[in-house]
Amino acid sequence: MSAAKPATLTLEGVRASGPAEFVSPYGTFVADTCAPLRDAGESGEIGLWAYGRGTYPGEPMPADILPQLKNVGTWEVTSDQPWGLDWHRNEGIEFTCVSAGSVPFSCEREDFDLKAGYITITRPWQLHRVGRPNVSSSRLTWFILDVDVRRPNQDWTWPSWLPIPAPDLARLTELLSLNERPVWRASKSLLAAVDNLERTLHGERSQPMARLATSVAEIFIELSDLLEQHEPVLDPYLSSTERTVRLFLERLKERTQEPWSVNRMAEECGLGRTRFVHYCKQMVNLTPLEYLNLLRVEQAKHLLTTTDLLVSDIAQLCGFQSSQYFSTSFRRATGTQPAQLRRQHVDV
């Protein structure tokens, strides 16, 4: 395969199948949102050198080459851009490094202004964005490696092409899964590994696929050393079943429109029905379906009082199977009909 090309490549085929979206009255979240980056690269507004799969930007990678590496790339932004990568989660572990300029970054409830020499590490369950909301002049290098986890309590599966001994990978898994600090100051050796990756992406090295594998491994080795030197506090709760259920319940409001059953909720958390119900009652003092109905009603109240959407549209958006069932559930929870609540709000 040739070296990664700057962003003049055509990605129409990639665009045909977009990432999974979760729409709610509180926003739309996707597995990853790279459209602004692709568009800026293709238009020549920025320099973009990347390899990618699926909806990710870059020269397409064959399925049998470095499987699990979803995306790897670098951008050169020389003027402030009117776009950013909005709130999203990734399909794998994402590593980024700012090697020039500065980049606004947010993870969960924290905002950071990343300067040159800082790195970020985000896990698949960590909501984050790049830009606030826009992107400033910078050079940013990243990769996303899918280790087959979507929730904290799953076992990590590292790719076989990664030349790191199993004991070292086990320790790296501990360091990354039991500590969720997203931002670190890079060491000189880690920055040197990132520089090697950038040179490969820019086409300055032969055998790019072999060098990508070597660079990713080198970055992980240096990252492991960096984390060990800081002696991070490793919290087993961060990879526990309890936390998986808590994260699921916290984010259920993003997905209320989906046709949930208790069994499907339990499967989403990797648990049996009885154990999932136990955790749910322990955390919110409600059964899973009672909690789901509460979230749907609260979202409906928000839409009824802040939008002009039809009641039937609100019912569908909030996940109710019919307008009649919505009205019945809403009246039981609030003591009033949806239309009455809207009239009361208008009259105030």
Q: Could you read off the pLDDT of 203-218 as tens digits, one per residue?
A: 999 999 999 999 999 9
Q: Inform me whether the pLDDT recorded for 199 exceeds 90.
A: yes
What is the share, in percent, of the chain residues with pLDDT greater than 70?
Answer: 90
pLDDT at 313 over 60: yes
- Per-residue pLDDT reduced to its tens digit, 38-53: 889 989 999 999 999 9
- pLDDT greater than 90 at residue 145: yes
74 close to 201: Cβ distance less than 8 angstroms: yes
Residue 77 pLDDT > 70: yes
CATH 3.40.50.300 is held by the domain 240-347: no
Q: Residue 348 has what pLDDT?
A: 52
pLDDT for residue 296 is more than 50? yes
The pLDDT of 248-264, averaged and rounded, is 92
For the chain, where do the domains classified as CATH 2.60.120.10 start and end?
A: 12-236
- The confidence score (pLDDT) of residue 26 equals 39
Q: At what angle do helices 323-334 and 288-306 cross, to 10 degrees?
A: 100
Cβ-based neighbour number of residue 339 at 10 Å: 12
Bridge-based pairing of strands 110-115 and 93-107 is antiparallel
Q: In CATH, what number does 12-236 get?
A: 2.60.120.10
223-232 confidence digits (pLDDT tens): 999 999 988 7
Q: How confident is the prediction for the chain on average, in pLDDT? A: 88
Lowest average pLDDT, out of 3-12, 100-109, 159-168, 265-274, goes to 3-12
Q: How far apart are CA 142 and CA 98, in angstroms?
A: 9
pLDDT band at 125; cut points 50, 70, 90: very high
Radius of gyration from C-alpha coordinates of the chain: 22
Per-residue pLDDT at 94 = 97
**Residue 291, H or E segment:** helix 288-306
> Any residues with CB less than 8 A from the CB of 259 and at least 6 apart, and which?
319
Structure tokens at 14: 């990639």
- Do the strands 69-77 and 110-115 form a parallel or antiparallel pair, or are they unpaired? unpaired
pLDDT value for 32:
53
Banded pLDDT at 61 (limits 50, 70, 90): very high
Report the alpha-carbon distance of residue 315 to residue 293 in Å, rounded: 12
Residue 303 has pLDDT above 90, yes or no: yes
Q: Residue 22 — pLDDT band, cuts 50, 70, 90?
A: very low
Q: What is the pLDDT of residue 234?
A: 80
**pLDDT the model gives residue 169:** 97
273-284 vs 288-306: helix crossing angle, rounded to 10: 50
Mean pLDDT, residues 146-168: 94
Confidence at residue 55, expressed as pLDDT on a 0 to 100 scale: 86
At 34 the pLDDT is: 81
pLDDT at 328 over 50: yes
Instruction: Give dist(CA 48, CA 76) in Å, integer.
Output: 7
Work out the percent of the chain whose per-residue pLDDT is above 90.
Answer: 70
Q: Where in the chain is the domain with CATH 1.10.10.60?
A: 240-347
DSSP β-ladder status, 138-145 and 128-130:
unpaired
